[in-house]
Amino acid sequence: MSSGYAVVGEARGRYEAWSPVRGSEIIADHLAMEGATLPILHAMQGAFGYVPQDAVPLIADALNLSRAEVHGTMTFYHDFRHEPAGKHVVKVCVAEACQAAGGNVTSDRIAKALDCAFGETRPDGQVTLEPIYCLGLCSCSPSAMVNGRLIGRLDDEAIDEIAAECRS
């Protein structure tokens, strides 16, 4: 028997293919909200792994905004991807507290172990590596988020595990 609150890391990596019908459904689910743009963009990315270009005019029409406004909003925020992500998404914290705990060396090692540069998706589509500014794990740094799962006190063993996970 278990009570209290916990989220178990969810493996991402399998997304739906974009379709205008699905896109319109997602929009319709959020229309009653005040300021629905960000929630819709998040939901799009949740479903498709990125925000497809074709979603922009649909959102604009539904919210009575110009395409430029929706495009402007989408591109302002670091979270929203304009292209599909790799099968595995690895986000490594590069902020100060993680740097203080040797994060610079760790992030170089991760990039090498994954054979992927920060901000890029490997050409085989297997992994996307992103820098992130703080995960709130600064007391057990350096830290990372791998496919939605949090990892603190990154050491060589953890890096090996991440690399293995990203080979699967």
User: What six digits make up the tokens of 25?
Assistant: 């459904």
45 binds ligand FES (CB under 6 A): no
- Written as one letter, the residue type at 96 is E
Query: 98 or 146: whose CB is closer to ligand FES?
Result: 98
Backbone angles phi, psi at 71, to 5 degrees: -60, -40
Nearer residue to another protein within complex by CB, 24 or 99:
99
Give CA torsion, residues 136, 137, 143, 147, to 10 deg: -60
Q: Is 146 in the site for ligand FES (CB under 6 A)?
A: no
Could you give the C-alpha distances from 123 to 52, 62, 147, in angstroms and in order?
19, 35, 18
CA distances from 132 to 2, 58, 86, 144, 145 (A): 33, 30, 17, 8, 9
Contact positions with another protein (CB under 8 A) in 96-155: 96-102, 132-141, 143, 145, 148, 150-153
Strands 144-146 and 88-93, by their bridges, are antiparallel
Our finding on whether 107 is near ligand FES (CB under 6 A) is no
> 24 contacts which partner out of ligand FES, another protein, none, CB within 5 to 8 A by kind?
none
Nearer to another protein, 8 or 21 (CB): 8
Task: Output the smallest distance, CB 124 to another protein, in A.
Answer: 26
- Which residues contact another protein (rule: CB under 8 A)? 1-9, 34-39, 41-42, 63, 69, 72-73, 76-80, 95-102, 132-141, 143, 145, 148, 150-153
- Which residues contact ligand FES (rule: CB under 6 A)? 93, 95-98, 134-138, 141, 143
